[in-house]
Amino acid sequence: MLAGCEDLDLVGSAPALGDTFAAVRQNHPDIVLVDHSSGLKAVFEFIADVKNTAANCQPVLWVHDLAEVDCFRALRCGARGILKKTLPVAALLDCLRAVARGDVWIEGSPEQSPQGGERRSAPRLTPREKQIVQQICEGLKNKEIAQTLSITAGTVKVHLMHIFEKTGVKDRFELAIQGRKLLGLESPGIPKLGPRSEEQADPALKYPQVLGE
């Protein structure tokens, strides 16, 4: 599949997450494509460990289907792409190239939409709106944002309505993906998790159950 791609090279594959983690540490790939069939809990843990061990390796989650809340969880763990197995090979290549450029790739997101280029750039957000965007990127709910900023949940909703109007994003999930780019902090994505403690130095043993699944 990658034979005719001069910009993409396959450096290896592995049957289980533990083997994959060892291969990531050994080969230092730019991207790792992770099958979700091992179970979401194990996969999310694996993605977080990859990001904390090999910060330059960008995980892409390969799924049959994934609920919006689980997409958000995957991005929070450090995934940079979420790709459905039903998509054609061309979409897989587009995803890998986008992630390699530093973008976040999700089917149907503004980065893949033909209308994406028409969105207003660098919208003028108020300081309070920027605070709320940052909180959305951190995964907080309206009530939690209200408590953090000492305002009411209703005020948060009003600010979100203004943010949607100014930026053109359609919902809070899309805002979570695009938020850091809108704030000028980095390419689209979810804030990376902090460094692991020394007790987590060898997480390869976390994934024994996935062999043969």
125-133 long-range Cβ contacts below 8 angstroms, 24+ apart: 125/163, 125/166, 125/167, 125/182, 125/183, 128/159, 129/159, 129/162, 129/163, 129/166, 130/183, 132/156, 132/159, 132/160, 132/163, 133/163, 133/175, 133/179, 133/182, 133/183
Q: Which residue has the higher pLDDT, 211 or 99?
A: 99
- Cβ atoms 11, 27 nearer than 8 A: yes
| 118-154 pLDDT tens trace | 444 557 899 999 999 988 887 788 999 999 999 999 9
pLDDT tens for each residue of 13-34? 898 998 999 999 999 999 999 9
> What torsion, rounded to 10 degrees, do the Cα atoms 22, 23, 25, 27 define?
160
Domain 121-182 indexed as CATH 1.10.10.10: yes
Q: CB pairs under 8 A, 24+ apart, for 69-73?
A: 70/40, 71/106, 71/173, 72/139, 72/173, 72/176, 72/190, 73/40, 73/44
pLDDT at 1: 65
pTM tops 0.75:
no
Domain ranges of the chain: 17-107, 121-182
Cα gap 7→103, rounded to integer Å: 16
E strands of 7-148, at which residues?
Answer: 31-35, 58-63, 81-84, 105-106
Q: How far apart are CA 10 and CA 12, in angstroms?
A: 6
CB contact at 8 A, 11 and 29: yes
pLDDT digits (tens, 9 = 90+) for 157-213: 999 999 998 888 888 888 888 887 788 765 444 444 344 444 444 444 455 443 333
pLDDT at 5 over 60: yes
d(CA 196, CA 98): 27
Q: Which CATH architecture has domain 17-107?
A: 3-Layer(aba) Sandwich (3.40)
Q: Do domains 17-107 and 121-182 have the same CATH topology?
A: no
- Sort 55 into a burial class: Cβ within 10 Å, 0-12 / 13-18 / 19+: exposed
Q: Tell me, what's the pLDDT at 59?
A: 94
3 state DSSP class of 183 = coil
